[in-house]
Amino acid sequence: MLERYFVRPVTVDRIRAEWLGAPIEQYVGWLTERRAATRHVLRYIATTRRFGAFARARGAQSWSELPAHVDAFVEQHMRAHDAERKSTHYQQCLRSQLRVPVEQLLGLVLPDFSPTTRRLTVRPFEDRVPGFWEFLKTERGLSVATVQQYVVYLRSFQAYLQRVGVTDFAALTPAHIDTFIKERARTLGPDAIKPVGGTLRVFLRYVHRQRLVPTDLSGAVERRRSYRQRTIPRSITWEQVHAVLQSIDRRDPLGKRDYAILLLLVTYGLRAREVAALTLEDIDWPRERLRIPRRKGGHATTFPLSPLVGTAVLEYLQQGRPQTADRHVFQSTRAPAVPIRFNVVGHRASTYLRKAGIVVPRAGSHTFRHTCVQRLVDADFSFKVIGDYVGHRSPQTTQIYGKVAVETLRQLALGEGEEVL
């Protein structure tokens, strides 16, 4: 199997002659079965070879001794890359790149080996404010997705405090908080800055409750006013939708997967989380139905399965989906195969919008959701029907599309308002 990735026989012989040569070749075969990209296989081979040499130099004599050297291997390379001076995100990525291939190799070599339970993604303030993340889940009852939003927002706050030199909460002042909010507001819109402020208020109240600061500073977080119906949906035309779909190269598994995903988004107006959560059981092929069991409003919806969508999903399942026991429909194309996360759906949507040369504010999966609703508005469906179709919890959410009901607005402008209303 090594010959598939190395042209020179001497390189293959050198790898096989190493004391971890046989496990590495087995690992390469395992990656190849899962359709790992060549560049990733080569990187994983290099990492596992370095780990083997490192463990051997530290006195490892048998494969069973290897797990004891994983942490030291990771920390040595972190120091070699001067990771402590880099961002938290860089440190997390580097740790993952070092640890994941080594632990995958050990999982194949040692039947009783279990990957480390240590979280590779360190939550902000986890060591300085113990108990905060458990507080969000137990006392506030927040969902996993909401807790992840707290992670994102507080990570930027943590980076800001490090940049301005605030290492002790006792030194935190309202001026620090106000400056942080203003900096974030320069890059985030009015709707995006509101949850940042809400997250910060919850965090500061908890810090005060734990007596880490003498004063409750949550009141220093400015409450920014926002106005309903001030914007219009960021939809694209149906011709632009065709241009996006035609930009997808459907000859490889990634293209087959992304094509099916975009069709689901624009046909049914699904959210990214709903697409990522789809399982094989949600598609009723005999009855030609598609079930969305967990919508944002807490309800389920069943749609007729469009022939176009069904054909795209079936093509992906038969020719693009990796072999895995997991029941989620959409899987990663990189080894090991795991269900995609909702952010992957948004990222792929924005990628193809840019590839097609379509400029739209905040390009992502919601662009196709808005386009689906716009098409229903143009077809003169009632807002109640549209809201039920796309899973709006409140009629007020659907009312924003009244501003893009062009034909109705035209009749109002012509003085036929009473008949229209």
The one catalytic residue in 77, 257, 271, 375 is 271
What CATH number corresponds to the domain at position 170? 1.10.150
What CATH number corresponds to the domain at position 360? 1.10.443.10
Residues 248 and 363 in one domain: yes
Nearest-angstrom CA–CA distance, 63 and 85: 34
**Contact yes or no for 305/290 (Cβ under 8 A):** yes
Q: Which residue, chain included where needed, has tokens 């997967």?
A: 257
For β-strands 301-304 and 283-284, DSSP reports them as unpaired
Residue 339 covered by a domain: yes
Which of these three, 170, 185, 220, is where a domain ends?
220
- Mean pLDDT, all residues of the chain: 85
Residues 385 and 269 in one domain: yes
Residues 105 and 41 in one domain: yes
pLDDT band per the 50, 70, 90 thresholds, residue 171:
confident
Determine which of 174-188, 195-209, 239-253, 372-386 has the lowest per-residue pLDDT on average: 372-386
The one catalytic residue in 150, 206, 316, 401 is 401
Which of these three, 61, 94, 109, is where a domain ends?
109
Nearest-angstrom CA–CA distance, 184 and 155: 12
The one catalytic residue in 223, 296, 327, 403 is 296
Structure confidence at residue 117 (pLDDT): 42
pLDDT tens digits, 273-330: 999 999 999 999 999 999 998 777 667 889 999 999 999 999 999 999 988 889 999 9
Report, as an integer, the average pLDDT of 139-145: 83
Cis amide prior to 336 (ω within 30 degrees):
yes
Where would I find the H helices in 4-115? 9-17, 21-33, 38-57, 70-80, 88-109
More confident residue, 118 or 27: 27
Structure confidence at residue 55 (pLDDT): 94
Tell me if residue 401 is catalytic: yes
Distances 216 to 128, 169, 207 between C-alpha atoms, Å: 17, 11, 8
Share of the chain above pLDDT 90, in %: 42
Residue 114 covered by a domain: no
Residue 122 covered by a domain: no
What's the DSSP call for residue 122? Answer: P
The one catalytic residue in 77, 256, 369, 370 is 369
Residues 155 and 69 in one domain: no
Tell me the two tokens of residue 105.
């190799």
Nearest-angstrom CA–CA distance, 37 and 254: 11
Q: Is residue 418 pLDDT above 70, yes or no?
A: no
Containing domain of residue 94, as a range? 2-109
Report, as an integer, the average pLDDT of 177-191: 83
pLDDT tens digits, 202-233: 999 999 998 888 888 888 887 766 655 555 56
Which of these three, 220, 249, 268, is where a domain ends?
220
Structure confidence at residue 192 (pLDDT): 75
Q: How many domains does the chain have?
A: 3
Structure confidence at residue 268 (pLDDT): 93
Structure confidence at residue 149 (pLDDT): 86
Cis amide prior to 190 (ω within 30 degrees):
no
For residue 126, the one-letter residue type is E
Residue 313 covered by a domain: yes
Residue 209 covered by a domain: yes
Structure confidence at residue 147 (pLDDT): 87
284 φ/ψ angles, rounded to the nearest 5 degrees: -95, 95
Burial-class residue 331 by CB neighbours within 10 Å (0-12, 13-18, 19+): buried
Structure confidence at residue 58 (pLDDT): 92
Residues 249 and 379 in one domain: yes
Nearest-angstrom CA–CA distance, 254 and 249: 8
pLDDT band per the 50, 70, 90 thresholds, residue 347:
very high
Structure confidence at residue 398 (pLDDT): 67
Residue 76 covered by a domain: yes
More confident residue, 382 or 370: 370
The one catalytic residue in 366, 370, 375, 403 is 366
Residue 117 covered by a domain: no
Q: Is residue 404 pLDDT above 80, yes or no?
A: no
pLDDT band per the 50, 70, 90 thresholds, residue 127:
confident
Residues 269 and 204 in one domain: no
Tell me if residue 271 is catalytic: yes
Tell me if residue 392 is catalytic: yes
Residues 203 and 247 in one domain: no
- Side-chain-side CA neighbours of 28 within 13 Å: the count stands at 25
The one catalytic residue in 99, 155, 250, 392 is 392
Residues 265 and 194 in one domain: no
pLDDT band per the 50, 70, 90 thresholds, residue 119:
very low
Nearest-angstrom CA–CA distance, 53 and 244: 48
pLDDT tens digits, 239-281: 999 999 999 999 999 999 999 999 999 999 999 999 999 999 9
Residue 365 covered by a domain: yes
Residues 97 and 173 in one domain: no
Q: Which residues pair with 290 in a beta bridge?
A: 283, 303
Q: Is residue 35 pLDDT above 80, yes or no?
A: no
Nearest-angstrom CA–CA distance, 257 and 275: 12
More confident residue, 182 or 417: 182
Nearest-angstrom CA–CA distance, 1 and 149: 43
Share of the chain above pLDDT 70, in %: 87
Residues 245 and 378 in one domain: yes
Residues 79 and 23 in one domain: yes
Tell me if residue 296 is catalytic: yes
Residues 289 and 377 in one domain: yes
Structure confidence at residue 415 (pLDDT): 61
Q: Is residue 410 pLDDT above 80, yes or no?
A: no
